[in-house]
Structure 1
Amino acid sequence: MSKLMKHKGFYGSYEFDFEDEVLHGKIECINDLVTYEASDVAGLKAAFEEAVEDYLETCEMLGKKPDKPMNGSFNVRIGEELHKKAYLKSLEENCSINDIVKRSVNYYLNGSKMIINNHSYHYTNELLNKTERKYEVDFSFNNKESDYKMKAH
């Protein structure tokens, strides 16, 4: 079950307020605060879509861009031990800690595939499902170039 609704490329969150017995949410990833509410799910969906339409009209009238740009940078607190492991892994792979974090987030968001330089590499789960042999995939990353070796066990 998704925690977001989508309409015309915009995402809307939703929550239930037990005290007021109302569903409510806001349009995510925009510069302004645009909220909506309803008493039932169908009404919430309609209220979200109406809020998006109203937001787009308002932005057009004001001559402003509606999307909040993501600048690609955010702070993450991961604790001393994980920080140390990331640092040592970056030394081992001759890359930056930032590259290690990007790979980790990419892997988490894309499941059992890794996207590097707009190329998708499928490994582990998909390989095991297609054959009965186990494979190990070694990735090496050198100056934005990626190579991999596969060896059967």
Structure 2
Amino acid sequence: MINILKIDGHQAIITFDPEIEMFRGEFTGLNGGADFYARSVDELKKEGEESLRIFLDECRKDGIAPYKSFSGKVTTRLTPERHQALTIAAQATGMSINEMLNEGVDLVLKKHA
């Protein structure tokens, strides 16, 4: 299960911290930390909105871009067996490895949209 909560169009990953018996939210794609804690989903949404507002306000005040930039490049390590299988599958479908990986990512994203 992927625990994503959307707050004002921003995604936050939600986990549960058993030591303090609270939910923890952490926004993704931001240039800094904007995490928040709560004991219920309603509180989590409220705390998330406040945390996001403060983070974005501080970025504006300090002239900092609030969002990470992504280059589109990813380095990964595969076992030799997986690398070989991926190469064969790509060749068999007439795709490059890059095209095949992008297609796989698209499928995962659609499934969790």
Give the structure-1-normalised TM-score: 0.62
Larger RCO, structure (CA 8 Å, separation 6 or more): 2
* Unmatched 5+ stretches in structure 2: none
| Cα distance change on mapping 1:16 and 1:93 into 2, 3 Å | closer
The two structures, once aligned, show a CA RMSD in angstroms of 2.1
The corresponding residue for 2:59 is: 59
Gaps of 5+ in 1: 112-153
Count, aligned residues: 111
Q: Quick check: which one's strand share is greater?
A: 1
Alignment of 1:100-139 (within 5 A): 100-110=100-110
SS at match of 2:73: coil
Greater helix percent: which structure? 2
Counterpart mapping for 1:3-152 below 5 A: 3-110=3-110
TM-score of the pair, normalised by structure 2: 0.81
Structure of larger gyration radius? 1
Distance 2:72 2:19 in 1: 38
Q: 1:93-132 CA deviation, whole Å, 9 max, x = no partner? A: 4543212211222233335xxxxxxxxxxxxxxxxxxxxx
AA in 1 matched with 2:67? D
User: After TM superposition, where is structure 1 displaced by more than 6 Å over at least 4 residues in a row?
Assistant: none
